Structure 1
Amino acid sequence: MNQALGKVVTAVMIDENDDYYFVQPERNGQTYRLKKTEAPQVLHIGGSVRGFVYENADHQLQMTCEHIPNIQVDHYDFGTVVNVRRDLGVFVNIGLPNKDIVVSLDDLPTLKHLWPQPGDRLLMALQVDDHDRIWGKLADDEIFRTLAAKPNRSLINKNVKATVYRLKMAGTLVLTEDYHLGFIHPSERDQEPRLGQVVKARVIGLSSHGGLNLSLKPRAYQAINDDAEQILALLTHSQTHQLALTDKSSPAEIKAVLGISKGQFKRAVGHLLKARLVNQVNGKLILLKDPNHD
């Protein structure tokens, strides 16, 4: 197996033509082509140069000194998915101009609709098989735990962006932009997100394992209908934060104030009561908290 592939190595120049230097890593019999426009200096026979070596899309061994990726053998970073082949896996851009790296279908979810799509992100390193093919190696749970920062309670109810890194029966594991581990229970999502998908979530608590419990569902007041929005607006802008209407009010009273039917009003108030944004006391609807400051 070619031990140099997927790594930054030092090599010696052994030959050249008009466009390329040909270099060989120390104690490695393989020859790599290095574009002269990429060399850090003019090379002569026996001169040394340091760069990243790989096999390009045309199956040529190549060194680059200009496009050295952060993702290497045993070096993890995020790469962006650029293509999907159902019979092979997903192709990830790691920064090379003429080579994308494949993450094998064997390392992807069984359900293909949960595979990463172009634009999704995967934390990965490189690995080289016995046939000198370079593959993407997804980070395991230990790598994510090593990266993770400890969250604090000030994050509760904050909005966060997070990248999905593991799909489990128990729920979805994610890493936030601030490198906090997060967990999304199936009850806190309408559909299961893809591996590598970037999601917008809300922090609903801290887990006993030192991570965040997250929800993909909107806040209760964000899920309410237009009628409830109208009632909330009236309550919010009222000096007393009260409205002389309840579900016991007559249809005519409700129609005169809100312009909606009693049935619409009762449904809207039901949403607001469930969200604990209002209460009904002594014939009045009372705002319990400002939905814009929860």
Structure 2
Amino acid sequence: MTKNVKEVGKLNSLEAGNIVNLIVSRKTELGYMLTNANREEVFLHSSETENDLENDEKVKVFLYHDHKGRLAATTTMPFIDMNSIAWLEVVGVKHNLGVFLNIGIKKDVLLSKDDLPAERSLWPKEGDKLYCGLRTDKKGRLFADLATSEEIETLSQEAPENLRNQYLTGHVYRFKEQGAMIFTDDRYIAFLHEEEADTKLRLGQRLQVRVTFVREDGRMNVSLKAPKEIAYEEDSQRLIDYLEQNSGFMPYHDKSGPEEIKEVFGLSKAAFKRAMGKLMKEGKVKQSSEGTELLQK
């Protein structure tokens, strides 16, 4: 979105989150008092401007609340204002409040815990990015505002059919009952089913995904897993490595429980059996009631 700079004469009141043109009404020891047409004043600290300002000079500023909750101004332009949306980096997490986002000025903005998943493990970590705008509450306090699915859809484009098996990068922007929605760097919308993820995901997490299917509506299904032929090879090598590190024998076989298979190898029972079947067919291992033995070292 295009940022809207409000002129002095058109501003009804000074509100956080807006980029406005104000007039220097007077200098102080610490900075400048700025005013609008209604004679409302806001303070601009000298550390928040690179230039020496003169009385009656017009200055473009962004309004925010300082660490004491007072309305303040800065000549540093943020990544977003009340009329725009951008990817913002998470720079702090406080479980009793939410997450703090860098908007390009010295003061970070809070995304309330009420706007985050109820399950704490799904919260973003520092370094993750969220697609957000700004909002104010009833008290005029400034908060980050997560982009809606509709806003993401407005920015998206349809994916071409030839993307199948291509790798793309993007961020998780929403969770659904059986997976996560991802907005890619190329502005495609993708769905990652929970069975196609080999780890628990976070909101705002950046991922590299493989396109498995392009739907008629231009959206995609994606996976974090390698194509089957590559996955089989990687899983088989994982078993060989384990056997070689344990004198060529392990007490695990096709009848072992899925929980211990997952704990020891990080594989599902089905993936373990596929990898084991591949190794047996190649004559590299043999199984017995006691476990599995490596035949080729």
Superposition TM-score, scaled by structure 1 size: 0.72
- Between the aligned partners of 2:37 and 2:279, the Cα distance in structure 1 is 74
Measured at CA, do residues 227 and 108 of structure 1 come closer, stay the same or move farther in structure 2, by a change above 3 Å?
A: closer
Q: Deviations over 1:26-55 (max 9, x none)?
A: 336242224277255x43322211111111
Q: How does 1:25-104 map to 2 (within 5 A)?
A: 25-27=36-38, 29-35=40-46, 38=49, 42-65=52-75, 67-97=76-106, 99-104=107-112
SS at 1:44's partner residue? coil
- Between the aligned partners of 2:168 and 2:234, the Cα distance in structure 1 is 26
- Between the aligned partners of 1:37 and 1:226, the Cα distance in structure 2 is 54
**1:118 maps onto 2:129 in alignment:** no
SS at 1:218's partner residue? coil
SS at 1:224's partner residue? helix
Whether contact under 8 Å (1:21, 1:36) holds in the other structure is no
Measured at CA, do residues 270 and 22 of structure 1 come closer, stay the same or move farther in structure 2, by a change above 3 Å?
A: farther
Q: Partner of 1:127 in structure 2?
A: 135
- Between the aligned partners of 2:57 and 2:47, the Cα distance in structure 1 is 13
Structure 1: where are the runs of 5+ without partners?
230-263, 272-294
Whether contact under 8 Å (1:189, 1:215) holds in the other structure is yes
Q: What is the deviation of 1:18?
A: 4.0
Cα RMSD over matched residues?
2.6
- Between the aligned partners of 2:193 and 2:220, the Cα distance in structure 1 is 11
Q: What is the deviation of 1:23?
A: 0.6
Deviation beyond 4 Å, 4+ runs, structure 1: 225-229
Structure 2: where are the runs of 5+ without partners?
1-11, 238-274, 283-297
Measured at CA, do residues 270 and 170 of structure 1 come closer, stay the same or move farther in structure 2, by a change above 3 Å?
A: farther
Q: What is the deviation of 1:105?
A: 0.8
SS at 2:96's partner residue? coil
**1:17 maps onto 2:25 in alignment:** no
In terms of mean alpha carbon deviation, does 88-97 or 26-35 score higher? 26-35
- Between the aligned partners of 2:24 and 2:83, the Cα distance in structure 1 is 27
Q: Partner of 1:7 in structure 2?
A: 18
- Between the aligned partners of 2:150 and 2:49, the Cα distance in structure 1 is 37
Q: Partner of 1:281 in structure 2?
A: none
Of 148, 152, 163 in structure 2, the residue corresponding to residue 144 of structure 1 is 152
SS at 2:229's partner residue? helix
Q: What is the deviation of 1:8?
A: 0.6
Matched residues, number: 235
Q: Deviations over 1:134-169 (max 9, x none)?
A: 101000011101110221012111111110000010
Q: How does 1:150-169 map to 2 (within 5 A)?
A: 150-169=158-177
Q: Partner of 2:229 in structure 1?
A: 221
The letter of the residue matching 1:6 is G
Measured at CA, do residues 269 and 35 of structure 1 come closer, stay the same or move farther in structure 2, by a change above 3 Å?
A: farther
The letter of the residue matching 2:141 is R
Whether contact under 8 Å (1:81, 1:120) holds in the other structure is yes
In terms of mean alpha carbon deviation, does 165-174 or 14-23 score higher? 14-23
Measured at CA, do residues 133 and 37 of structure 1 come closer, stay the same or move farther in structure 2, by a change above 3 Å?
A: closer
In terms of mean alpha carbon deviation, does 23-32 or 48-57 score higher? 23-32
